[in-house]
Chain A
Amino acid sequence: MMNWMNIELILLILMPILTAVMLCFSSESNHKINITITLTSISLELYFITALLVSNFAAVKNASFFLQYTIGRAESPFVINFALDNLSLFFSLIVTAAVFLIVIFSVKYVEDRANQFFALFFLVLAAIQGSILTADLFTLYLFIEAITIFTTPLIAFKKNETTTRAALQYLFYGLIGGVFFFISIILIYFELGTLRMAEVAAAFVNIEPGMQLTIIIFFLLALLIKLGIFPIHFWLPRAHSACPAPISALLSGVLLKVYLYIFMRIFWTVISFTILSRFQLHHFILELALFSSLVGHLFALQSDNLKKMLAYSSIGHIGMILAVLLLNTKAAFYGAILHIIAHLLMKSALFLSTGYLLQTTLSYQISDLKGVGHKNRSVFVAFIIVCLATIGMPPLFGFVSKWYVLLAFLESQHYFGAFVVGAGSLIALIYYLRYISQAYLTFKGSETVSIWQENLSFKEFFSSFNAMKAVIYLFTFLIIFFGFSFKFFSMPIDTAIFELLNPQKYIDLVLGG
């Protein structure tokens, strides 16, 4: 009767919700208790997911890892499943780790209205975990909507006209995407009478082709809007640049990856890729994503606002990842997932360090950047390293992932894709250098302390040390470290690719027990 098996899956979603409720309950004044609750909860979350990995390490290694938790009456036809296979474990792990670092950063960064901020932040985390873990299309829809609704007030956190406008636009397009997703779900329910992903996956071939096409098109529309691919991308830079730095990192670094995961889950597990390629839609989406990537980089070039530039560069990277995924080869998946990790690290680090560097400036305009490089030297050096990684400088992590993406394009003889990867890097070089040179433009008075004096005397280094700097340095260290030891990821990525290429395993295991 007692079913304690795999209870962690449900706890991963419930913990953040409980934390959010507790944060709303406690008053703003006892600051210490609130911080303790926040940090304990996010550490527990990270502990749960790592414990899942460690205790099942052997199963993960030979790609037979699968956990499932069922809510509802087992004998009824509409139970809710939560399933964790190698792919979702991998995404859940990297997302939780990134969110953990972002939370540590924002404990210092956000002082005003911190309770409400963290309550909403944890609700977003719960929705993210839910949408990764769920194996039910309706619950997935619910969590996607929840992500949109919970992030909107966070975008409008600084209450002024720009942020409110950006937030409303974000809400509008997010809800439109949700409606498209919902139409697809309704159509599937009418056709098959079930919304469990595994049952849908097993029976999707039986739907007549016209209906299949409609369902696929609506899913594609929804996800392309959420991912900010070219024709409907304009909400993304506004939304991602209006919010406070940790939220920018969350949106650009983490959330876009979650939507990429949902894309993979739907188009490889639920609707198998052969059906997508039967309609030749994948060619169209591939070219569109590549074009979107190029457009993103070009817009980043003309942008005079640092955060907007970073957001446009996100469009460029996400377009590239989506395009390389749609090549549907093993090398392509390897490059795509490696670049997902790299982009997660790099964009989070970039947004967090802009938040730290420009705390004192009024705006993120390029003219306000003058002399920033002299004020916080070591953080700015970290910023430059991450910029170089994003461009794709050889020893860094960004280079490795871009290299594998390039190899994947060349292997499938898709030369336009290879061109976009190279051109994107070149354009990125120009726009990042523009900002870096601006930051070193003026000397502020008599600068006598050199960077060596500043950092090599440990006393000064530690007296100016705080959590925000630590998080930025940690991200930078990880980017350099994984640049040399990217083989570290080859086992988890290979097992994740195994899940993508063998959806039958997922279907059998969910339906079997």
Chain B
Amino acid sequence: MTGLLKKILIIVVLLFTTLALYLNFILMPEYQGLKTGVSNYIIQSALRDTGSLNLITAVLYDYRAFDSLGESTVIFGAVSGIVLILSRKMLPVSSKGLSFIVKRTLGIITPFIGLFGLYVISHGHLSPGGGFQGGVILAAISIIFSIVYGSAFDYRRYSPQKKTILETGGALTFLTIGLAGLFFEGAFLHNLNFLTAEPGTLLSAGSIPYINIGVGFKVGAGLAIIFYSMIQKTFEEDY
């Protein structure tokens, strides 16, 4: 009886909220393009300002680079939090893996996945992609390995310490480039103008490619660490 009452109460509250939201969102003005023309500004002057062909990357790592630093710090904190909470739980993990065919195919494919990940990271300022996306692709290699070969295999090859070093190295790269901007250009995370070259070439757009590389390794290693702290590691007995 009380369960029914509770449900009715919840439904009534939800209906009221919906009504209130509806009444208020009716007031939303029709979309007229943003009033101050922020998007126009970006389209017109981002290439001139930053030298990056990918305008999203230009916003992420130049105009609002500090917010990206914050976001990658959030990932960093989430990784250390997950490691803190989930470590040392002992779960039995298989090291047998899948069949021979799958293992061979993965062996052939892996270099290409890695190449693609590195391409996405290093061409972040030229084509769609960037550090966050490429990092996820790199992390996928590690995850696929643990599925196909059993988790003990990848654990032996790239230990958590190596991954932690990669991750903190990525974070330090981001911070160092930010401080370099402070020293050479006079503002924290300012784009390093002396690194700019012809727009469209690989090493152009100031410090953006280097930040991309740092973020890529950080995100890749971070996701791999998250994955590994979730599956865990009593491999002594079955490897």
Q: Enumerate chain A residues within 8 angstroms of B76, measured Cβ to Cβ.
A: 20-21, 24, 123
Asked whether A3 is an interface residue with its Cβ less than 8 Å from the other chain, the reply is yes
- A residues less than 8 Å from B186 (CB atoms): 1-4
The proximity string for B residues 147-173 relative to A, scoring 1 for CB distances below 8 Å and 0 otherwise, is 000000000000000001101100110
* B210 in the interface (beta carbon within 8 A): no
Interchain CB contact under 8 A, A113 and B84 = yes
With A1-B186, A120-B80, A210-B24 already in contact, the answer to whether A21 and B168 are too (CB < 8 A) is yes
A368 within 8 A of B: no
> How many of chain A's residues have a CB under 8 angstroms from any CB in B?
56
Residues of A within 8 A of B167 (CB): 24
- Those of B66-97 within 8 Å (CB) of chain A: 66-67, 70-71, 73-74, 76-78, 80-85
**A25 near B80 (CB under 8 angstroms)?**
no
| B24 near A78: Cβ-Cβ < 8 Å | no
Is A48 an interface residue when CB atoms closer than 8 A count as contact? no
A492-B64 Cα distance, complex, nearest whole Å: 34
A210-226 vs B, CB cutoff 8 Å, 1 = contact: the mask equals 11011000000000000
Among B45, B49, B74, residue most surrounded by chain A Cβ atoms (within 10 Å): B74
Contact A80 B67 (CB under 8 A): yes
Helix, strand, loop or mixed for chain A's interface? helix
Report B-chain residues with C-beta under 8 Å of the C-beta of A25.
Answer: 164-165, 168, 172
Q: Is B27 an interface residue (CB 8 A)?
A: yes
Pair B66/A153 contact, Cβ less than 8 Å: no
Query: Quick check: A80 and B64 within 8 Å, CB to CB?
Result: yes
Q: Is the interface on chain B under 10, 10 to 19, 20 to 34, or 35 or more residues?
A: 35 or more
Give the dominant DSSP class at B's interface: helix
Binds A, one of B35-43, B103-111, B133-141: B35-43
B81 touches A152 (CB 8 A): yes
CA gap between A211 and B71 in the complex, in Å: 29
Given contacts A70-B187, A71-B65, contact A116 B80 (CB under 8 A): yes
- A25 and B81 alpha carbons, distance in the complex (Å): 15
Q: Does B227 reach chain A (CB closer than 8 Å)?
A: no
Task: Map CB proximity to A onto B22-50 as digits: 1 under 8 Å, 0 otherwise.
Answer: 01110111000011111001000100010
Residues of chain A lying within 8 A (CB to CB) of residue B175: 14, 17-18, 21
Interface residues of A (CB under 8 A from B): 1-4, 7, 10, 14, 17-18, 20-21, 24-25, 70-73, 76-78, 80, 113, 116-117, 119-120, 123, 126, 130, 138-139, 142-143, 145-146, 149-150, 152-154, 156-157, 159, 164, 167, 187, 190-194, 208, 210-211, 213-214
